[in-house]
Structure 1
């Protein structure tokens, strides 16, 4: 995993875990990699992974089964969506709006490009 400079590594790892949950690769109630396993997979210090797990546990996205390890919460997908939506709306969207304003991009142009993006990348299965 390549890390970016703009965000703490533990939050980038949290995003990775959330993505795995949203993609269904780590389903509800299933065990996730141990702190050491994930640290090895991502080539980071286990303390960083532990910080990530503490963060996600506080958000009730994962939970610790004593003696077994960490698992995905039953309602993790809904919690991940709420967390990521809140973070996007508060942190990232203001930057997007600023860029749209500075580049004089209209909401209509944005809507057209968004619709095309969805059509190209998420075709409807009939």
Structure 2
């Protein structure tokens, strides 16, 4: 599951975020404990805890004392909002800048998107 592209704790946080966005984890649902996560993926519990801490700081997870960690009620909407912003910054804005550089009009881009969308339907 883990690769060398980023720290394991970051990959843990990203996996949980993906599970929330895709609906595998629901709002107010309990997630595995750090010890369970560490045992399941055969990693150091401190590494798992660091990933969970990151999600807690971001407001994606919250802790119920003595019970465990849960998905925040606003987690999915917050993550979707972040991903939309990142999509426009990393994909659309870069595409538009490149299109301007090489002289592709926006109308041609829109036509190509509509053509691709039409072939999916």
Same fold by TM-score, threshold 0.5 exceeded? yes
Give 1:46 shift. 1.1
- 1:85–1:51: structure 2 CA closer, same or farther, 3 Å change rule? farther
Distance 1:44 1:111 in 2: 49
Aligned to 1:22: 21
**Equivalent residue runs for 1:33-112 within 5 Å:** 33-85=32-84, 93=91, 97=94, 101=98, 108=108, 112=112
Distance 1:38 1:51 in 2: 12
Alignment partner of 1:36: what SS? helix
More helix by share: 2
Structure 1-normalised TM-score?
0.69
- 1:52–1:85: structure 2 CA closer, same or farther, 3 Å change rule? farther
CA RMSD of aligned residues (A): 3.4
Q: Quick check: 1:28–1:72 contact (8 Å CA) kept in 2?
A: yes
- 1:112–1:25: structure 2 CA closer, same or farther, 3 Å change rule? same
- 1:57–1:88: structure 2 CA closer, same or farther, 3 Å change rule? farther
Distance 2:118 2:66 in 1: 44
Runs of 4+ in 1 over 3 A off after TM superposition: 82-90, 106-120
- Asked if 1:3 corresponds to 2:33, the answer is no
Find the structure with the greater CA-based Rg. 2
Give 1:38 shift. 1.2
Distance 1:56 1:26 in 2: 14
Distance 2:54 2:7 in 1: 12
